[in-house]
Amino acid sequence: MTNNYTATELLATVASRQLEDRKSVFVGTGLPMIAGLLAQRTHAPNLLIIFEAGGVGPRVPVLPMSVGDSRTFYQAAAASSMHDVMSMCQAGHIDYGFLGAAMIDRYGNINTTVIGDYAHPTVRLPGSGGANDIGSLCWRTIIIMRQEKRRFLQKMDFVTTPGFLTGPGAREKAGLPAGSGPYRVITQLGLYGFDAVTRQITLLAMHPGVTVEQIREHSEMDILIADRIETTEAPTEEQRRLLHEIDPAGKVMGK
């Protein structure tokens, strides 16, 4: 692909377009933050952004280094607490949860805890953080991640955060809030949803220039393909300018 934009810019802009104006979103560190801030600066000025440490509806001036730093409650509607915002999540106030992931399976379950044997890990990752809470308690979860064969897995070493667990009805059976679950997965190759019946990951759109073969090459799990596959929009010059205004040092966009 010879584009005038980077894969990270594409991820951020596609992710940002998934967010609707006048809805609430709970965002995690990194690209989810960037996508939320971009949405606010473009099509969703009244997007209500909530951070897990207590920032509610801030006017974030520049990319925060932490979901708990002072930029996350800069000119906010409220600076409250984790108990408060997680409770609001549990009570149904939060439309979207926005997460990054190291690994995912076909039901949208996420692993951010460990690679390899739990007792003797090959790689120890940070653990749930707020991800399990966000994936359990928000209405719809959106996941942004890099798609590789070793990350799009048939079976994972560890389920940190619930997607649809083992398939249709499994979330409700486990006691998770009814009607909640994963909604979109965005990778550098495409945009995915989840089949309404089987709850399996389904390709909805590909980025410009990407082929179905590439999608399959970069996945160990089986991916359902929608009847009609859309092509995502490339980042506009204005979106790219805003992304670099949000993250001037390239802390996320430079990756």
Partner 1 sequence: MEIIEEGQGELVGWYDPDENREWVRVNKSRDLKDKRMAMADAVAKYVPDGAFLATGGFGHVRVSMAAIYEIIRQRKGNLTMAGKTAVFDADVLIGAGCVTRMEVAYSFAHELRGLSPAGRRAVESGQCKVVAELSNAAYQWRFLAAAMGLPFIPARDMLGTDTFKHSSAKVVKDPFSGKPICLLPACYPDVVFVHVPRCDMYGNAQIDGILIEDFELARAARRLVLTTEEIVPESVIRDQPWHTAIPFFLVDAVVEVPYGAHPCHMPYLYYFDEEQIAEWLRMSKSPEGAREYFDKYVYGTADFYQYLERIGGVRKLDYLRKVEQLRAAPNTLTRVPTES
Is 29 a binder of partner 1 (CB under 8 A)?
A: yes
Is 181 a binder of partner 1 (CB under 8 A)?
A: no
The binder of partner 1 chosen from 75, 83, 117, 196 (CB under 8 A): 83
Tokens of 201: 């990951």
Amino acid at 157: D
Is 53 a binder of partner 1 (CB under 8 A)?
A: yes
Alpha carbon 188 to its chain centroid, in Å, reads: 13
CA distance 61 to 79: 16
Nearest to partner 1 of 106, 171 (CB atom): 171
Is 65 a binder of partner 1 (CB under 8 A)?
A: yes
CA distance 55 to 124: 29
Is 168 a binder of partner 1 (CB under 8 A)?
A: no
Report, in angstroms and rounded to the nearest whole number, the Rg of the chain calculated over CA atoms: 17
| Residue 115 beta carbon to partner 1: minimum distance, rounded to whole angstroms | 10
Considering only residues 117 to 136 of the shown chain, the ones binding partner 1 according to CB under 8 A are 118, 120-133, 136
Is 193 a binder of partner 1 (CB under 8 A)?
A: no
Is 35 a binder of partner 1 (CB under 8 A)?
A: no
Nearest to partner 1 of 125, 234 (CB atom): 125
| Residue 56 beta carbon to partner 1: minimum distance, rounded to whole angstroms | 9
Is 251 a binder of partner 1 (CB under 8 A)?
A: yes
Amino acid at 12: A
Residue burial 104-141, b: 16+ Cβ < 10 Å; e: rest: bbbbbbbbbbbbeeeeeeeeeeeebbbbbbbbbbbbbb
First and final C-alpha spacing in the chain: 18
Return the residue matching tokens 């990319």.
63
Nearest to partner 1 of 181, 235 (CB atom): 181
Nearest to partner 1 of 36, 190 (CB atom): 36
Nearest to partner 1 of 148, 233 (CB atom): 148
| Residue 84 beta carbon to partner 1: minimum distance, rounded to whole angstroms | 8
Q: Which residues pair with 201 in a beta bridge?
A: 194
What is the DSSP secondary structure assignment for residue 28, as one 8-state letter?
-
Q: Which stretch binds partner 1 (CB under 8 A): 15-23, 50-58, 141-149, 202-210?
A: 50-58
| # chain residues binding partner 1, by CB under 8 A | 60
Three-state helix/strand/coil letters over 165-228: CCCCCHHHHHCCCCCCEEEEEECCCEEEEECCCCCCEEEEEECCCCCHHHHHHCCCCCCEEEEE
Q: What angle do CA 73, 77, 78 make, to 5 degrees?
A: 65
Active site residues: 52
Q: Site residues (CB under 8 A) for partner 1?
A: 29-30, 52-55, 61-62, 65-70, 72-73, 79-83, 86, 89-90, 109, 113, 118, 120-133, 136-137, 158-162, 165, 170-171, 173-177, 248-249, 251-252
